[in-house]
Structure 1
Amino acid sequence: MYKALALLLLVVQFSSFANDKTQDQLEVEAVVQQYIDGTSKGNPSLIEDAFHSEASLILSHPKKPFWQVSVKEFARWFESSKTTRSGYILSVTLDGDIATARALITVAKPVKKYVDQFLLKRFAKGWQIISKSATQIDTQQKQAQLESAMNKRVLFIASSADQHGKSTLPTGTSFSELVEAYEVFIDSGYQVDVVSTQGGKLPLAYINTSDLKHKQYIYNQDFMYLLANTLSPEQVDASQYLAVHYVGGGNAMYQVAENKTLQAIAMQVYEKNHGIVSSVCHGTAGIVNLKLSNGKYLVSGRKISGYPTEFEKTDANYYQQFPFDIEETIKQRGGKFFYGERNQPYVQIDGRLITGTNYQSSKGVALAMVAEMNKMKRLGTL
């Protein structure tokens, strides 16, 4: 019992440490985002305002090993509003009144990809960029991967709840389920975005610091930044995704199933994009209310898996907080519920609806999704 409580405390402490932001971090992110917006929208004044007046930019040039450009000169390059640039922040590191930040910048036509590195300092008037450099990822292999990934995006759907129902029992999104699926998609050339019910930091659970893969991703700045800066449902452009993937963890029972915006996103991906809806473990709670355009439940008449009633501790406090039982609700909606043995992976594939029993099934679900998406691309149905 003591070890279990200690592990739970470690998870809660780590989740809070990894996701909570200071005011300085928020301000640094705002400055870097201002730079990204200025270059994306062709607004030189936004760019100049993000930099200190005496800042220097050290850029790449085929004939100039040390190419230094002034802020004003750099900003003038973006005077036209016709730009195909976009970007997002990868990481921010604070050290007193100094900060570093990294951003991934993509140019659509012709396809190019850059990693921008910023050095910022806090002045009396606030944070400003004092130096910037960038490197272009321009090998043929990386170029091909980028062009491919631009049309290969998967959206993870998770809950922002950090307590079970109205209780004080802590809960969160399963770290294993995030890591296992994310790794499969990234290794297969897919881009992953994460949306949560409230956006922002994602509460995490079941982190095992003795697990080598967990440890690898705990110290992966890009991955952890993604989890600390999830999209809100209103920020998602559903037309950009080939699949949605409902991630489990105890908190998946709350806020997700009833969210109308998330429902609309999932059904646009499924019906208009001809994409995939998937879930794993308690993530299956998120799909119970999804309806097709004809008014029928998506799960009706379909083979579905998720965390079964048999594996739940139905007399435990956490279960008493659940708004519904996954297996029971799937059956009420006309679905056929299947699951494997406890602690063994089990994946159920029913066309473009792919589900798994438990966290051990996360990798299998992701692999099945990749196989199905690749097949649909070959057949021209995506």
Structure 2
Amino acid sequence: MLEAQLRAALERRERMGRRRTLASTDTDAQLVDASSNDYLSLARSPAIRLALADALAHDVRVGSGGSRLLDGDSQLHAHAEAQLAAYFGAPAALLFNSGYDANVSLLTTLPQPGDIVVHDALVHASMHDGFRASRARAVLAFQHNDPVDLERVLTHLLQERAVEEDVRAGRCNVFLALESVYSMDGTLCRLGVLADTLARYVPVRGARHILIDEAHGVGVYGRGGRGVCDALQLADVPSVRLITFGKAWGCAGAVVLCPPLWREYLLNYARPLIYSTALPPMQVAAILCVLRAFERGEVDANQQRLHARTRQLYEALGRPYVCDPLPPTPIVPVYSAQPLVLAARVQRAGFLVRAVRYPTVPRGEERVRLCVHAHNTQEDMVQLAAAVHAAQGASL
């Protein structure tokens, strides 16, 4: 019975053109990477590999052996958290196995019964999974990056007298959930104006909290890759910053930057942390190797090349870009009614790209997502733009 139901569900998805399959990059090694999140090309860096090999030679265990609260904790984990907190200028840090686990943990544990969560409509699926299990009295979305619509949502909330009284008195926490760089659209968060809007409606400082996911911002922006909040000189605005290491850092895992009390609370209540085997020491060592490279300024040139290549791609595509005040993001969506066809044609031209379809993006907003990397060349950008134009010009 179950097998028939599962098969039927997969067949329905197949008919709708939405069935997912694994796509190994091993068979695409000859293609120019225009798809992965390895923005700074650190995942392929010989220097990072050598540094990690040296670290592993000094008695770093491969696996952790248990959860952090049982047998999986180590001095290396504690050292990494202290070093990351210092580097990002945060009061405390807590390692997680992934950004997904961290977002689910934050949003299922921090909002208390009766609290309110307001979020950008385009936040990641991990946040939505956290919202669904949240104890908040209300979880509401506002239009992407739109402070006017945020005002509308907050005004609507405060029309209920009991909610207004709780918010004005600071008895109700209001959380604003954002991303610094939106992974499918490549847009930068309007953090300053959104924070100001929240402050006008939630007057008690201790009752308003911003959670920002820096997954696609860290490494790409800020001093030494410290992220968008640092680049905008707003690092002290969010209550929590989530830093992930699986993208520009070229590793895996994540760290939550937060107040020490929040860290202790997460240790006690965040189920994905409590009941998961801890991040392997080998992976913690890799994170520290990349951190050392950032601290020594060895990644600055990668960051500069990334921004130069991104501008070159925009210019080759004939797209305007706005440096207000930051360079454009290395995520460039190309919208198409037939993204699979478009992606296949660009792949035949020698570039690894992927189609992104519903439900990952809204219906009618299917696309091919281009990603720029520090190791890409200027000629790569010219040829990629030419391949996109040729594919779009052909009959779809």
Question: Do they superpose with TM above 0.5?
Answer: no
Higher strand fraction (1 or 2) = 1
Which TM-score tier does this pair reach, normalised by the shorter chain? under 0.3
Give the TM-score taking structure 1 as reference length.
0.23
Higher helix fraction (1 or 2) = 2
User: Which protein has greater RCO, CA pairs closer than 8 Å, 6+ apart?
Assistant: 2
Give the TM-score taking structure 2 as reference length.
0.23
